[in-house]
Amino acid sequence: MLEKEINIAPSEGKLGVLIPGLGAVSTTFIAGVEAIKKGIAEPIGSLTQMGTIRLGKRTDHRVPKIRDFVPLANLEDLVFGGWDIYEDNCFEAASKAGVLDRSLLDAVRPEVEAIAPWKAVFDRTYVKKLDGTNVKVGKTKMDLAEQLMEDIDGFQRAHGLKRMVMIWCGSTEIFMKVQPVHETIESFERALAGNDPAIAPSMIYAYAALKKGIPFANGAPNLTVDVPALVALARERQVPLCGKDFKTGQTLLKTILAPGLKSRMLGLDGWFSTNILGNRDGEVLDDPDSFKTKEESKLSVLDQILQPQLYPQLYGNFYHKVRINYYPPRGDNKEGWDNIDIFGWLRAPMQIKIDFLCRDSILAAPLVLDLVLFMDLAQRCRMHGIQEWLSFYFKSPMCAAGLYPEHDLFIQLMKLKNTLRYLRGENLITHLGMEYYD
Ligand SMILES: NC(=O)c1ccc[n+]([C@@H]2O[C@H](COP(=O)([O-])OP(=O)(O)OC[C@H]3O[C@@H](n4cnc5c(N)ncnc54)[C@H](O)[C@@H]3O)[C@@H](O)[C@H]2O)c1
């Protein structure tokens, strides 16, 4: 029996993509979309563009592409705008980031060169390694939020946008914990007006987006929207939000491998992960306070997947270490090493070594695209608050208070696809499969 289909508003007109941070990830995303639109590149790594979804029984042979199954915005309808503390336009920033081939970048030059950053809301207290001049001035943090809302209004008017989505691709801010001013919308707004240090710049962007009814996704590990006040604001304004920290590179592999080891009941003595990278992200993470934010995000994954409390003999005592080393010659071409000490039958020790020569922004760009399209879909389905079905994309998925986040990539994918089936009134797939043998 089919479930009831949700009424999804059509994806008519232009979709504005608002991006705080025109750096390596976001320029690789924007230039990539422009190249795909021209038919000179392929959207590898994007579930919305390449993925399929099985519907019904295996014998039904119904496997449409996801983008044909749910009404997503077309790439032709995306319009990009963003903020940065540096004045470089998107072409200059992409050239400096050095991720994409020069020939590809030249092919999309007119489109990406036209995207110049608006002045940013920035404060070095929260990102110690950066210092730019393209920065707004305001008496209070509330003034700055209002200036961001004016940028958003101007962008909407200039391009005749029907809908917008904001995705944080800015640098990782210093480690912060939830504080009393983050508890309610009222205390948060008082803190904005009173320039409270507990309000980081990323929170000001998020506040501006939510106030305007714009979905917000957080690609960095910063606290940002993961505070009760902003979750409440999202519910009040009926806006979806999600985060935190794009799951790429080493953590992606960790959440692929760890569920496999656990499903075979193989034990773990230790997992040592180290990285060398030389991009601006690496430089920012060279500051211990920004690294702490990233470290917390990267460390949380294994405990949640392996559940040591349920399997004390296998996972009660493993040592987990994550290091990031800033090494300029590498640029965006990160190298991540993992040494994994596991044990099997009769506690015999074994080792796994991984050397992942990955391209951080190449792995992150398709996630930005998927998140933009799915967040817009969520908005048109009137889904609001935390979008746990998008955990698939994050290292530290946001979830309801009192719940633990789901980190296993395969459970996350099942959750995502079942959410899409649910939205279209299709039966959820449980993989029980008894009916094939009746
Ligand atoms: N590349 C990946 O695989 C990956 C994975 C997970 C998370 N991330 C996170 O995504 C973010 C972007 O990564 P990146 O490699 O593009 O970094 P980047 O340093 O190349 O770009 C970040 C940009 O944000 C700008 N910025 C900083 N603070 C800002 C502010 N308050 N307002 C506007 N702009 C601001 C910086 O000037 C910079 O241009 C980082 O936080 C990174 O940790 C990246």
Question: For 77-121, how does the pLDDT look when each residue is reduced to its tens digit (9 = 90+)?
Answer: 999 999 999 999 999 999 999 999 999 999 999 999 999 999 999
pLDDT mean across residues, the chain: 95
Ligand 1 centroid from CA 113, angstroms: 19
The predicted structure's pLDDT at residue 4: 74
Q: Which token pair is 164? A: 């917008």
88 lines ligand 1 (CB under 6 A): no
User: Which atom of ligand 1 lies closest to the CA of 122?
Assistant: 31
Ligand 1 centroid from CA 220, angstroms: 7
Gap between the Cα atoms of 314 and 180, Å rounded? 39
Per-residue pLDDT, averaged over 372-397, amounts to: 97
Q: For a ligand 1 pocket test, name from 18, 19, 22, 25 the mutation site with the most ligand atoms within 8 angstroms of its C-beta.
A: 25
The predicted structure's pLDDT at residue 291: 87
The predicted structure's pLDDT at residue 278: 87
Band (236; pLDDT cuts 50, 70, 90): very high
The predicted structure's pLDDT at residue 2: 55
Ligand 1 centroid from CA 351, angstroms: 34
84 lines ligand 1 (CB under 6 A): yes
Residue whose CA is at the smallest distance from ligand 1 atom 9 = 220
Question: For 139-191, how does the pLDDT look when each residue is reduced to its tens digit (9 = 90+)?
Answer: 999 999 999 999 999 999 999 999 999 999 999 999 999 999 999 999 999 99
The predicted structure's pLDDT at residue 6: 85
Report whether pLDDT(378) > 60: yes
Question: For 273-298, how does the pLDDT look when each residue is reduced to its tens digit (9 = 90+)?
Answer: 999 988 888 888 888 888 888 888 77
Question: For 390-436, how does the pLDDT look when each residue is reduced to its tens digit (9 = 90+)?
Answer: 999 999 999 998 999 999 999 999 999 999 999 999 999 988 888 88
Per-residue pLDDT, averaged over 16-37, amounts to: 98
Ligand 1 centroid from CA 86, angstroms: 12
Ligand 1 centroid from CA 174, angstroms: 13
Ligand 1 centroid from CA 177, angstroms: 20
Band (332; pLDDT cuts 50, 70, 90): confident
Query: Which helix H or strand E contains 386, and what residues bound it?
Result: strand 385-386
The predicted structure's pLDDT at residue 285: 84
151 lines ligand 1 (CB under 6 A): no
Contact 378, 229 (CB under 8 A): no
Report whether pLDDT(299) > 90: no
Ligand 1 centroid from CA 62, angstroms: 40
The predicted structure's pLDDT at residue 123: 95
Per-residue pLDDT, averaged over 122-128, amounts to: 95
The predicted structure's pLDDT at residue 337: 96
Report whether pLDDT(3) > 80: no
The predicted structure's pLDDT at residue 363: 96
Residue whose CA is at the smallest distance from ligand 1 atom 17 = 281
Residue whose CA is at the smallest distance from ligand 1 atom 30 = 122
Beta-sheet pairing, 216-218 with 240-243 = parallel
Band (333; pLDDT cuts 50, 70, 90): confident
Q: For a ligand 1 pocket test, name from 281, 291, 359, 367 the mutation site with the most ligand atoms within 8 angstroms of its C-beta.
A: 281
118 lines ligand 1 (CB under 6 A): no
Per-residue pLDDT, averaged over 224-235, amounts to: 97
Question: For 193-218, how does the pLDDT look when each residue is reduced to its tens digit (9 = 90+)?
Answer: 999 999 999 999 999 999 999 999 99
Contact 388, 398 (CB under 8 A): yes
Q: Alpha helix locations (H) across 160-287? A: 185-193, 201-211, 228-236, 249-263, 280-284
| pTM attached to this predicted model | 0.96
The predicted structure's pLDDT at residue 331: 84
DSSP at 103:
H
User: Which atom of ligand 1 lies closest to the CA of 284?
Assistant: 19
The predicted structure's pLDDT at residue 154: 98
Per-residue pLDDT, averaged over 16-43, amounts to: 98
Long-range contacts of 231-234 (CB under 8 A, 24+ apart): 231/385, 231/386, 232/184, 232/185, 233/185, 233/188, 233/207, 234/210, 234/384, 234/385, 234/386
Query: Which helix H or strand E contains 304, and what residues bound it?
Result: helix 288-306
User: Which atom of ligand 1 lies closest to the CA of 132?
Assistant: 37
